[in-house]
């Protein structure tokens, strides 16, 4: 059972989260960043650390930055009642590896993120002896909707999807995929500071078409790097498995 640390200065929030999660996870709680740091040091770390952003003393991003150095194997999740802006993401060290949820939070989304932390990259990699790399699609999306698309693509069996939680994780797997034809990114989670990472994806996977999914309610992605906006192999498309299939390259 995954060991999860919840950090929030409001006891009622801790009680609500604990009640929603304690049947599936080993839940520990803390009402401050300082107390959380002491718990992490004394418990040998946690699988997942979920922290509120605005707290007395140290804020959530300061705690999560500390965790990146002192508990590097922990999945980091932030809950916040303030707008999720580029400025906020820039405060978080290694922001691409941090999942940020707005308050009021949706417990289904939090559980999806917790379940994602149980996966390892090796578990997500198909058997290369039975699947052509040309029929693989690398998906970077830690949201519930992203997992729905992944599940549908997997059921359809036209494309073999491989799911990653972050761009950093995708880049770390580069050595396994030399002939990848398609990479799918969640357009709602792209901000200006991701430009260099997206450029690295383009350089690391030069043969890949990069598909950026767009929520129908958003109507557009928040940010496409200017240096990539005119690339023939970068497309912004509606967020659905059916529309993805019309754009994916099927190898033979």
If you average pLDDT over every residue of the chain, what do you get? 76
Which pLDDT does position 158 carry in this prediction?
Answer: 67
For every residue of 136-181, DSSP letters joined together read EEEEE--SHHHHHHHHHHHHH-SSEEEEESSHHHHHHTGGG-SS--
Residue 193 has pLDDT above 90, yes or no: no
Q: Looking at the domain 3-116, which fold is it?
A: Rossmann fold (3.40.50)
What band does 176 get if pLDDT is binned at 50, 70 and 90? confident
Least confident range from 155-159, 191-195, 204-208: namely: 191-195
Domain 121-247 is of which CATH architecture? 3-Layer(aba) Sandwich (3.40)
What is the spatial distance between Cα 237 and Cα 240, in angstroms, rounded to a whole number? Answer: 9
pLDDT of residue 186: 76
Note if the pTM is more than 0.85. no
Confidence of residue 62 (pLDDT cuts 50, 70, 90): very high
Which residue would you say has higher pLDDT here, 118 or 1? 1
Nearest Cα residue to 143 out of 100, 182, 112: 112
Q: Are 115 and 25 in contact (CB under 8 A)?
A: no
Domain ranges for the chain, please list them. Answer: 3-116, 121-247
Give 220's pLDDT tier (boundaries 50, 70, 90): very low
Q: Which two tokens stand for residue 162?
A: 């491989």
Domains 3-116 and 121-247 share a fold: yes
Confidence of residue 13 (pLDDT cuts 50, 70, 90): very high
Q: What is the pLDDT of residues 14-42, one digit of tens each?
A: 999 999 999 999 999 999 999 999 999 99
CB within 8 Å of 29: residues ≥ 6 apart: 5, 6, 7, 8, 14, 18
Give whole-number Cα distances, 44 to 3, 120, 162, 220, in Å.
Answer: 11, 20, 31, 43
For the chain, the residue count is: 252
Phi, psi for residue 139 in degrees, rounded to 5: -115, 130
Give the pLDDT confidence of 67-95 residue by residue, as tens digits.
999 998 899 999 988 887 777 877 887 76
- Rounded distance between C-alpha atoms, residue 121 and residue 204, angstroms: 18
Q: Which residue has the higher pLDDT, 193 or 104?
A: 104
Q: DSSP H helical segments within the chain, as ranges?
A: 11-21, 33-43, 60-70, 86-91, 107-116, 121-124, 144-156, 167-172, 195-204, 241-247
**Residue 97 CA to its chain's centroid (Å):** 6
State yes or no: cis peptide before 104, omega within 30 of 0. yes
């Amino acid at each position: 059972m995954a060991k999860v640390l919840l950090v929030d200065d409001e006891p009622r929030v801790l009680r609500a989260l604990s009640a929603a999660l304690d049947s599936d996870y080993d839940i520990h709680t803390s009402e401050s960043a300082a107390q959380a740091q002491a718990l992490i040091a004394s418990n040998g770390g946690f699988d997942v650390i979920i922290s509120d952003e605005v707290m007395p003393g140290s804020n959530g991003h300061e705690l999560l930055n500390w965790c990146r150095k002192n508990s590097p194997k922990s999945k980091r999740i932030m809950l916040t009642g303030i707008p999720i802006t580029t400025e906020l993401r820039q405060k978080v060290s290694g922001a691409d590896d941090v999942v940020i949820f707005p308050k009021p939070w949706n417990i289904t989304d939090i559980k999806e993120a917790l379940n994602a932390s149980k996966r390892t990259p090796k578990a997500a990699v198909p058997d290369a002896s039975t699947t052509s790399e040309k029929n693989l699609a690398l998906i970077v999306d830690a949201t519930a909707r992203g997992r729905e698309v992944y599940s549908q693509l997997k059921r359809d069996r036209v494309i073999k999807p491989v799911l990653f939680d972050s761009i950093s994780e995708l880049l770390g797997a580069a050595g396994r995929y030399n002939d990848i034809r398609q990479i799918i990114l969640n357009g709602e989670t792209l901000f200006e500071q991701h430009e260099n990472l997206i450029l690295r994806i383009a350089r690391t996977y030069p043969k890949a078409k990069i598909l950026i999914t767009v929520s129908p309610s958003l109507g557009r992605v928040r940010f496409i790097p200017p240096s990539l906006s005119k690339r023939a192999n970068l497309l912004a498309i509606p967020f659905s498995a059916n529309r993805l299939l019309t754009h994916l390259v099927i190898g033979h």
